[in-house]
Amino acid sequence: MATNYLSADEALLERMVRVVEKVRERLKRAAAALEAASIPYAVAGGNAVAAWVATVDESAIRNTQDVAILVRRADFDRVKAAPEAAGFVYRHAASIDMFLDGPAAKARDAVHILFANEKVRQEYSRPAPDVENPFMDKGARILPLESVIDIKCMSFRDKDRTHLRDLIDVGLVDVSWCAKLPPELAGRLQQLLDNPDG
């Protein structure tokens, strides 16, 4: 009985590890395809936060399901061709451009595309940043920290607040960042700094 229980636990642990590995592999494949086609891009979202957190404390990295990549709309025809050559399948659904990780994949198993210099959502006060001057991390171009903070403060959903807390916890974000943001976004960041659990 104990042996079966242990085997089930090991199988579950293996599945958990594999899920994390699949997200990282998806990110690496997409980044490699864009690099090979010389297309400017930057990794955004939770993976950008994880990369920045890793510069300070690898043990503080939070795993994420999302793979979000920022590109310029002018490059989008080339963007579509590059991931498709790496086995991704392009889909446009619910106003979102994405590359599914194979023909049978779900939207959760996709690379989501954001467009530089355009609003991610209509209600956002500012457009997403450009893809210039990315931070390089093991072959992937990561959105600069100031752009990550800007997008996370603009979106400010529960997961965005969690990502900002991660950056605060490792000391990458402090009160000095409030002066670098527009008042609306500075107020949101100050709210988290004043009450991280709120």
- Predicted local confidence at residue 1, as pLDDT: 46
- Helix (H) / strand (E) containing 43: strand 41-44
- Predicted local confidence at residue 5, as pLDDT: 55
- Predicted local confidence at residue 100, as pLDDT: 95
Q: Is the pLDDT of residue 198 over 70?
A: no
Q: CA 24, CA 101: separation in Å to the nearest integer?
A: 12
Write out pLDDT tens, residues 73-130.
999 999 999 999 999 999 999 889 999 999 999 888 899 999 999 998 888 889 999 9
Q: Is the pLDDT of residue 196 over 90?
A: no
Q: CA 198, CA 190: separation in Å to the nearest integer?
A: 12
Token pair 């990550």 in the structure block, residue: 148
| Mean per-residue pLDDT of the chain | 91
User: Tokens representing 144?
Assistant: 């600069």
Q: How many CB atoms lie within 10 A of CB 65?
A: 14
Write out pLDDT tens, residues 123-160.
888 999 999 888 887 778 999 999 999 999 999 999 99
User: Tokens representing 63?
Assistant: 């795993």
Phi, psi of 56 (to 5 degrees): -115, -45
- Predicted local confidence at residue 94, as pLDDT: 86
Q: CA 138, CA 34: separation in Å to the nearest integer?
A: 14
At 64 the three-state DSSP class reads: coil
Strand-pair category, 41-44 with 67-71: antiparallel
- Of the candidates 57, 25, 23, 52, the residue with the CA atom closest to the CA atom of residue 135: 52
Phi, psi of 9 (to 5 degrees): -60, -45
